[in-house]
Amino acid sequence: MEEIVAGDSVSIAPGIVRITAPNPGVMTGPGTNTYIVGQRELVVIDPGPDIGSHIDTLRAAVGERLKWILCTHTHLDHSPAARALKDATGAQIAGRIASQDGRQDAAFAPDRILNDGDTVRADALTLRAVHTPGHASNHLCYLLEERRMLFTGDHVMQGSTVVISPPDGDMQAYFASLEKLLALDLAALVPGHGRVIERPHDEVRRLVVHRLKREQKVHDALTRKNPATLDELVRLAYDDVSERLHPVARRSLHAHLIKLANEGRASETVSGWVPR
């Protein structure tokens, strides 16, 4: 399996180049993937973090041909480079705004707000926005219609689990947005972190099963330790996950509990979370 190296231009399909930003980490895997789509006219999907060397690499790659800068969402590893890239190229920025929760790129200023189903065109290519809230309320996937390739941002990642951080992150919405992908005719998933995923529907079904298993584990833990705090629950329900990751897992745990509460299967009391 090819290793992902930050700054390398990798052709993942004719007319589609991946350049990974130098921001590897627990949340970002090998780094954030920026994609450049097209030939005469170009579209950038997720310009990435505001890191000078990454922006320089993108500028050199797109030259004078950049028409659109599309952002899947506005977490700090996905959209902040949009401004500098727009200033350098005159391209237009498109995406959606999220309410501030301390994790958003506050400077994000799209020229065009995209709604579910809206399309952006460059040359003969069509990119269709698919609203997929869950990881972030403003999350969009982009379907390259002519190739049936779906750019998934952080809705589906390769090699790491997507974190759902309430209140902007919403587990119920995440499940619904995974189901939404099953209704699309897809050839591949092209994630914001990691490598291209073949057999898209198999992967989406695997993710749904994984989340349902975790949800059951959360509910079981809640039944055993009743009432329980988030810190107690994370040790029980994420005992298969490295303790180093528990502060992050705690956020997805909270998202699971909110979903269970909304479904009448748990509730938060003064002494902690209890099962229903």
Interface residues toward Zn ion, by CB under 5 A = 75, 154
**Residue 34 CB-half CA count within 13 A:** 37
Residue with Cβ nearer Zn ion (75 or 128):
75
DSSP, collapsed to helix, strand or coil, labels residue 228 as strand
Contact yes or no for 204/178 (Cβ under 8 A): yes
CB of 3 to Zn ion, least distance (A): 23
Residue with Cβ nearer Zn ion (75 or 131):
75
| Residue closest to 216 by CA, chosen among 178, 263, 180, 173 | 263
Q: How far apart (Å, rounded) are the C-alpha atoms in residues 267 and 217?
A: 16
Give the residue at shortest CB distance from Zn ion.
75
**What is the per-residue burial (b if ≥16 Cβ within 10 Å, else e) of 68-107?**
bbbbbbbbbbbbbbbbbbbeebebebbbbebeeeeebbee
Residue with Cβ nearer Zn ion (44 or 221):
44
CB of 273 to Zn ion, least distance (A): 26
CB of 75 to Zn ion, least distance (A): 3
**Residue indicated by tokens 């780094």:** 31
CB of 211 to Zn ion, least distance (A): 17
Residue with Cβ nearer Zn ion (22 or 272):
22
Between vectors from CA 267 to CA 135 and to CA 263, what angle results, nearest 5°? 60
CB of 147 to Zn ion, least distance (A): 24
Residue with Cβ nearer Zn ion (44 or 122):
44
Q: How far apart (Å, rounded) are the C-alpha atoms in residues 237 and 218?
A: 5
| Residue closest to 42 by CA, chosen among 148, 122, 146, 153 | 122
CB of 63 to Zn ion, least distance (A): 29
**175 token code pair:** 């499940």
Residue with Cβ nearer Zn ion (75 or 195):
75
